[in-house]
Amino acid sequence: MRPQCLVLEKKEVLFLANVDKTVNPPAPNHIAIIMDGNGRWAKKRGLPRTAGHSAGAEAFRRIANYCRTLGVRYLTVYAFSTENWKRSEEEVGGIMRLLGAYLREAIRDMEKNHVRFRFFGDLTQLDPHLQKLCWEAQNQSSAYEHEVQVNFCLNYGGRDEILRAARKFAADVAAGKCSEADLSESVFSNYLDSAGVPDPELVIRPSGEQRTSNFLPWQSVYSEYVFMDVLWPDFKPADLDKAIEEYHRRNRRFGGA
């Protein structure tokens, strides 16, 4: 039996006993994470920044596995932004190599792990080998419809995503496939990289920084943001539990009274 079932069973028992319903509340359906603090983690140890990213990749593995045991349906992670190209060639190359290694491993273990992959961002600017791995991971995992889905934001910027979506919509209007009057929020959402993926309920940013950095601006308008002081490489399942507890303390009104 998966731990997810154990959690649900425990919760049901607690409900019957009329105990505080906030004990073991269910995890949100969609959690998004800005994996921040790798550089500072490395600096504190006198290590190169790439060592921080390697430790960050390990933290991702740990948290992705934990999300699966919690029954989280979608996990979206900010792995490389449209602004991250400003970093040194060595650092950019290091992050790309980690992503490539992870994707090769994910493709190899796909039949065992059943994780579904999607990629948000403009992949056309990536090295062709990495692009190929992204498409392979996405296509080969597309059948795992009911399993956890990891959305990697790669060469992703929220403003860039919106511009690319606007261009695609304008091209469809020019081709006579639809008209300007057809445009609504739900129609526009389908032009975004995240088409078909529900908005995240919870966005977590570790490392102590309190800004959104061009991450999912369209999708996160009503997300609950939880900022945490822990650096991403140190992020543990217990930190995710804390963020989920904080999420459940929020009063989500979506603009209503």
What are 174's two structure tokens?
Answer: 């020019």
Closest approach of ligand FPP to the CB of residue 231, in Å: 7
Binding pattern for the stretch 15-44 against ligand FPP, x by CB under 6 A and - elsewhere: --------------------xxxxxx----
CA atoms within 13 A on the CB side of 169: 21
Nearest Cα to Cα of residue 243 among 221, 219, 227: 227
Contact between 213 and ligand FPP per CB under 6 A: no
Nearest CB to ligand FPP, comparing residues 209 and 245: 209
- Shortest Å, Cβ 247 to ligand FPP: 22
DSSP string, the chain: --HHHHHHHHHHHHHHTT--TTSSPPPPSEEEEE---HHHHHHHTT--HHHHHHHHHHHHHHHHHHHHHHT-SEEEEEEEETTGGGS-HHHHHHHHHHHHHHHHHHHHTHHHH--EEEEES-GGGS-HHHHHHHHHHHHHTTT-TTS-EEEEEEEE-HHHHHHHHHHHHHHHHHTTSS-GGG--HHHHHTTSTTTTPPPPSEEEE-SS----TTSSTTTTTTPEEEE-SS-GGG--HHHHHHHHHHHHHS---TT--
Q: Among residue numbers 139 through 168, which ones bind ligand FPP (CB under 6 A)?
A: none
User: Stretches 95-103, 133-141, 172-180, 181-189: which one binds ligand FPP (CB under 6 A)?
Assistant: 95-103
Q: Which of 27, 51, 75, 99 lies at the binding interface for ligand FPP (CB under 6 A)? A: 99
Q: Which of residues 220-239 bind ligand FPP (CB under 6 A)?
A: none
Q: Kindly tell me which of 130 and 173 has the beta carbon lying closer to ligand FPP.
A: 130
- Contact region for ligand FPP (CB under 6 A) — 51-59, 114-122, 141-149, 217-225? 51-59
Beta carbon nearer to ligand FPP, 53 or 118: 53
Q: Binding marks (x or -) toward ligand FPP, 167..206, rule CB under 6 A?
A: ----------------------------------------
Among 30, 51, 60, 247, binds ligand FPP (CB under 6 A): 60
As annotated, the active-site residues are 36, 84
Q: Which residues bind ligand FPP (CB under 6 A)?
A: 35-40, 53, 56-57, 60, 79, 84, 95, 98-99, 102, 207
